[in-house]
């Protein structure tokens, strides 16, 4: 399994709802709203990098239809 932390920026006041929506995605273990330059931190796991990439892209595609999530960055632990 490959794990990643995904940092998400949201519209003001939308972080808690975005975290609730993201945690419902298959492969996501944790999504919490936080303070700082990013509004939500997500921990996700997938079998390989290809699946992990799809996991990260799928929420972005859905976010375009629901603009509360504005940007995301993926970081895989070393």
pLDDT in tens, 5-52: 888 888 899 999 989 988 888 899 999 999 999 999 999 999 998 888
Segments forming the whole domain that contains residue 64: 2-75
Q: What is the pTM of this model?
A: 0.73
CATH code of the domain in which 36 resides: 3.30.70.920
Sign of CA pseudo-dihedral 9, 11, 17, 22: negative
Q: What total number of domains does the chain contain?
A: 1
pLDDT value for 13: 92
Which range has the worst mean pLDDT, 4-8, 39-43, 63-67, 71-75? 63-67
Q: What gap in Å lies between CA 61 and CA 63, rounded to an integer?
A: 5
């Amino acid at each position: 399994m490959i794990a990643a932390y995904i940092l998400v920026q949201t519209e003001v006041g939308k972080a808690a709802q975005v975290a609730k929506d993201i945690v419902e995605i298959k492969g996501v273990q944790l999504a919490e709203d936080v303070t700082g330059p990013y509004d939500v931190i997500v921990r996700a796991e997938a079998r390989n990098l290809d699946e992990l990439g799809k996991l990260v892209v799928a929420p972005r595609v859905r976010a375009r239809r629901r603009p509360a999530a504005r940007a995301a960055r993926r970081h895989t632990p070393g």
